[in-house]
């Protein structure tokens, strides 16, 4: 009897080793693009560390840090064009900022300001998704629309390893496969879904191999190697644009921080594991070493770059903190295109109360 078994897991696709030396063909990218990706990573890390601090100081609310995942995000976003659809989870701020999301918006979101969920009007990003895996289906729909309308654009959804356990993940891959939708499913496998390690999330050896069951292509790349991520994503996006259908990309990476600022990873995570990733596999260090070996990056540039990033983040913090206060009537205005009579009565009631309250203060 023939039985089906999972393939032997394929090796991780890598371009750079931990020391930043090429172990595979280096993508043909102009110097300024390489440097631009590096800058994106530095800015992202600076932003993330600052946001964590702001949360500890009570200046923003719950925040989901992404440090450690910069290569997975910047490497994949670097392939996208402005007209491509992006359906992120809550952990893609590095990529979104690189793609044009103003940093103060990201901060406003964590401040609980309604405008924090707004994306640039000339973009096709969705607001961050809180429900795990729901956005995969939206990406399928958007990609499908692109195909129906004869657009060149593709749709990408971002999600974690935990999301691959949800029904929506499986429904999305299946639907996209059946209709050969130009969509990329980009999984940042960061090892953990809150406290559950990926080994307890699924028994298949890799996320990427799950593609096989749906009749689509799967790719597994080193998520801490920005060039490997770039190559993997490029293949997936090119296939989608060429009408070859969906691809599942697994970027193997690691979340260095807590799941969110409300989480305490010391309860479930081994210090040694964290140390290994932090000290030996930092995606920013690896890429910097590569740039240095290429002779296109110096210590001097390194210093100025981190300073510049700090300044940019400082400015974003100022912009976020001096942003006009949320208008209470926001809640009513965006429920329907045309406010219903019920809602407009409720809004008036609310306004009256809000102004009375202000008067009392």
Partner 1 sequence: MREMTMIQAIHEAMKMALESDDRVMVLGEDVGKNGGVFRATEGLQAHFGPDRVVDTPLAESAIVGAAVGLAVAGMRPIAEIQFLGFIYEAMDQIAGQAARIRFRSGGQYSAPIVIRAPFGGGVRTPELHSDSLEALFLHTPGLKVVMPSNPRDAKGLLLAAVRDPDPVLYLEPLKLYRAFRGEVPEQWYEVPIGRAQVVIPGQDVTVIAWGPTVPVAVRAARSAQEAWGHSCEVIDLRTIAPMDTETLVASVEKTGRVVVVHEAVRSGGVGAEVAARLAESAFLSLAAPMVRVTGYDTPYPPPAIEDAWLPSVDRVVEAIHRVAAF
Ligand X SMILES: Cc1ncc(C[n+]2csc(CCOP(=O)(O)OP(=O)(O)O)c2C)c(N)n1
User: Which residues in this chain contact ligand X in the complex, by CB under 6 A?
Assistant: 91, 130-132, 159-163, 190, 192-194, 255, 259
- Region of 233-241, 279-287, 300-308, 332-340 interacting with partner 1 (CB under 8 A): 332-340
- Name the catalytic one among 45, 50, 105, 255: 255
Q: Is beta strand 192-193 parallel, antiparallel or unpaired with respect to 196-197?
A: antiparallel
Phi, psi of 313 (to 5 degrees): -70, -45
The whole-angstrom separation of Cα 99 and Cα 110 is: 19
- The answer for residues whose C-beta is within 8 angstroms of residue 47's C-beta and 6 or more apart is 93, 94, 97, 103, 106, 309, 313, 316
Nearest distance from C-beta of residue 242 to partner 1, angstroms? 33
Binding flag, residue 6, partner 1 (CB under 8 A): no
- If the CB atoms of residues 65 and 182 are measured against ligand X, the closer one turns out to be 65
Q: In the range 210-269, which residues lie near partner 1 by CB under 8 A?
A: 262-263, 267-268
Question: Which residue minimizes CB distance to ligand X?
Answer: 160
The answer to whether the Cα torsion of 300, 305, 308, 309 is positive or negative is negative
Does 116 sit near partner 1 (CB under 8 A)? yes
Residue 102 as a binder of partner 1 (CB under 8 A): the answer is no
Residue 357 interaction partner, one of ligand X, partner 1, none, beta carbon < 5-8 Å per kind: partner 1
Nearest 5°: CA angle at 153, between 149 and 154? Answer: 110
Tell me how far the alpha carbon of residue 354 is from its chain's centroid: 37
Quick note: the x/- pattern for partner 1 over 42-81, rule CB under 8 A, is: -------------------xx-------------------
Minimum Å distance from CB 343 to partner 1? 6
Active site residue 268: yes
Judged by CB under 8 A, the chain residues 148 through 167 that form the site for partner 1 are 162-163, 165-167
Among ligand X, partner 1, none, partner that 91 touches (CB below 5 to 8 angstroms by kind):
ligand X
What x/- string results for residues 166 through 195 when contact with partner 1 is judged by CB under 8 A?
Answer: xxx------------------------xxx
Judge whether 334 counts as a catalytic residue: no
If contact means CB under 5 to 8 A according to the sort of partner, which of ligand X, partner 1, none does residue 192 touch?
ligand X
Distances (CA, A) of 177 to 31, 153, 180, 209: 37, 17, 5, 15
Q: Is there a catalytic annotation at residue 319?
A: no
User: What is the CB-side half-sphere exposure of residue 222 using CA atoms within 13 A?
Assistant: 22
Return the one option of partner 1, ligand X, none that residue 27 interacts with (CB less than 5 to 8 A, by type): none
Distance between CA 63 and CA 258 in Å, rounded?
10
What does the binding site for partner 1 look like in residue numbers (CB under 8 A)?
61-62, 90, 111-114, 116-117, 130-132, 162-163, 165-168, 193-196, 200-202, 262-263, 267-268, 325-328, 330-332, 335, 340, 342-343, 346-347, 350, 353-354, 357
Residues carrying an active site annotation: 255, 259, 268
């Amino acid at each position: 009897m023939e039985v089906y078994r999972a393939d032997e897991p394929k090796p991780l696709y890598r371009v750079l080793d931990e020391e930043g030396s090429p172990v595979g063909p280096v993508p043909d990218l102009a110097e300024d693009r390489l440097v631009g990706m590096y800058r994106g990573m530095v800015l992202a890390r600076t932003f993330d560390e600052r946001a964590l601090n702001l949360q500890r100081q009570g200046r923003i609310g719950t925040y989901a840090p992404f440090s450690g995942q910069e290569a997975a995000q910047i490497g994949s976003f670097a392939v996208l064009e402005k007209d491509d659809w992006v359906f992120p989870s809550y952990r893609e701020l590095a990529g979104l900022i690189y793609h044009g999301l103003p940093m103060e918006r990201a901060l406003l979101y964590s401040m609980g300001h309604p405008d924090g969920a707004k994306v640039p009007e000339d973009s096709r990003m969705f607001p961050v998704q809180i429900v795990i895996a729901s956005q995969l289906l939206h990406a399928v729909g958007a990609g499908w629309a692109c195909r129906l309308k004869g657009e060149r654009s593709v749709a990408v959804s971002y999600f974690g390893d935990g999301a691959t356990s949800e029904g929506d993940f499986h429904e999305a891959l299946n639907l996209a496969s059946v209709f050969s939708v130009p969509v990329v499913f980009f999984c940042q496998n960061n090892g953990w879904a809150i406290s559950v390690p990926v080994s307890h999330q699924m028994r298949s050896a890799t996320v990427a191999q799950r593609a096989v069951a749906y009749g689509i292509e799967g790719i597994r790349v080193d998520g801490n190697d920005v060039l490997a991520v770039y190559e993997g994503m490029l293949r997936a996006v090119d296939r989608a644009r060429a009408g070859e259908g969906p691809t599942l990309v697994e970027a193997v990476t690691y979340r260095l921080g807590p799941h969110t600022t409300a989480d305490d990873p010391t309860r479930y995570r081994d210090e040694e594991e964290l140390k290994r990733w932090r000290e030996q596999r930092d995606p920013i260090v690896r890429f910097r070493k590569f740039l240095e070996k290429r002779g296109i990056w110096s210590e001097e540039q390194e210093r100025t770059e981190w300073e510049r990033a700090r300044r940019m983040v400082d400015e974003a913090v100022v912009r976020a903190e001096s942003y006009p206060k949320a208008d209470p009537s926001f809640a009513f205005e965006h429920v329907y295109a045309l406010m219903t009579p019920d809602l407009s009565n409720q809004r008036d009631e609310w306004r009256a109360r809000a102004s009375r309250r202000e008067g009392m203060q």
